[in-house]
Structure 1
Amino acid sequence: MFEHVDVNYLLATYGYWAIFIGCLLEGETILILGGMAAHQHVLKLLPVIGYASLAGMLGDQLLFWAGRYFGERLLPRLHKQQAAIDKVTSLIQHHPTVSIFSVRFLYGMRLVGPMVIGASKVSPLKFVCINLVGAVVWATLFASAGYWAGEFLQRALGDLKPYRLPIALGVVALVVAVGLIRHFRAKRKAA
């Protein structure tokens, strides 16, 4: 089924769009794959970081404004996210600057965090500035991790061209497995 898929063509043609859209939604998995594609010279590392930074920042800005305007009505409806909401609220009260910068790095708080920050009445200018720095650091770390993972795999396997699709599927499967394990641990802990 997959033997006729030209992964190089797909990455070169749609890679930056995939990174942008993926980083609007979630980001880490697609960003690691983007870094690996940069290692293989299918994409370039700086544009990968740039598109990911822009998308990560834009996504958080949209969530911030959703929290600013709809937070009082929306946040109480997110019962399953209450633990994350409480953690972000506490972090904002004690360390507002750190919370803005770090919320994208904290598991389970990537989506709800910016909404809680928006609802907390943190200054929009402060959020934009710190969010920009956080997005660039986040994109640089994950894209670089993908780049160095590509280097490691190339040393272990040699030429990676025949392995690109299995590696991509493996990274996605690994991230999904880790996410599921964390989800079920959190669910068990909550129960």
Structure 2
Amino acid sequence: MESLGAFGAGLAIAIENIFPPLPSEVILPLAGFAAGRGDLTLLGAIFWTTAGSIVGALVLYLLGARLGRDRMRRLVVKVPLVDIADVDRTEAWFDRHGDKAVLLGRMIPLFRSFISVPAGIERMPVARFLVLTLIGSAVWNTVFILAGYLLGENWETVQRYADVLQWIVVAVVVAAVVVFVVRRVRNRPHEVE
């Protein structure tokens, strides 16, 4: 951000979307802090980070589209405890809730990036995907950039709260996986000796 300004913040967010271990919860408040110091403009930070979010999301959408439904189904059948009926239910769920999933998914840690892949696999219309990504990303980015802007030197405080949110999401995902596995193992036909 120091050398590239708001464009650099956008580039960092594009990379973060493709490689989620880079935390937007650090990049965005830092961009807000930089805007507060006058190193870049607040609107420039919001614009470029949202543009970066769209670029990163589009890359993953295209990856999902390239992977395609048939190839994804062939991969899933090799995963233990998962069968095609699970894929069918997921596809049906995405058909019913795809718009909400993409819009809200852009505001949930971990899912921010990954929601683009099923949108591509399911061939959500690109224009609709981009509009939903724009709205969700703009909200997420604006909240974190404004937090960094308003907190100034204390911009790192945002990360502590974001970490709590991320751990809650991780705990919910882990609990859901455990419930899924337990149910699947219980419902599996037992072999007769």
What TM-score does the superposition give when structure 2 sets the normalisation length? 0.65
Identity among equivalent pairs (%) = 22
Pairwise CA RMSD of aligned residues?
A: 3.5
1:22 aligned to 2:12? yes
Contact 2:25–2:144, Cα closer than 8 Å, also in 1: yes
Q: By percentage of residues, which structure has more helix?
A: 1
- Unaligned stretches of 5+ in structure 1? 1-10, 151-159
Deviation at 1:17, TM superposition (A): 4.4
Contact 1:88–1:113, Cα closer than 8 Å, also in 2: no
Deviation string 1:25-76 (CA, Å, 9 cap, x unpaired) is 1433201111122122222111100110100011111111111121433584
Within 5 A, what are the aligned runs for 1:1-191? 11-24=1-14, 25-26=16-17, 27-72=24-69, 73-74=71-72, 76=75, 89=91, 92-150=94-152, 160=153, 179=166, 183=170, 186-187=173-174, 190-191=177-178
What SS is found at the alignment partner of 2:39? coil
Deviation at 1:135, TM superposition (A): 2.6
CA distance in 2, matches of 1:19, 1:44: 12
Deviation string 1:3-32 (CA, Å, 9 cap, x unpaired) is xxxxxxxx5324434412321114332011
Contact 2:25–2:158, Cα closer than 8 Å, also in 1: no
**Number of residue equivalences:** 163
What TM-score does the superposition give when structure 1 sets the normalisation length? 0.66
Deviation at 1:119, TM superposition (A): 0.9
Deviation string 1:141-178 (CA, Å, 9 cap, x unpaired) is 2211222222xxxxxxxxx4xxx8xx65x766775676
Runs of 4+ in 1 over 6 A off after TM superposition: 85-88
| Larger Rg computed on CA atoms | 2
CA distance in 2, matches of 1:110, 1:54: 14
- Unaligned stretches of 5+ in structure 2? 18-23, 179-193
Change (3 A) 1:138 1:46: same
CA distance in 2, matches of 1:112, 1:58: 14
Contact 1:12–1:43, Cα closer than 8 Å, also in 2: no
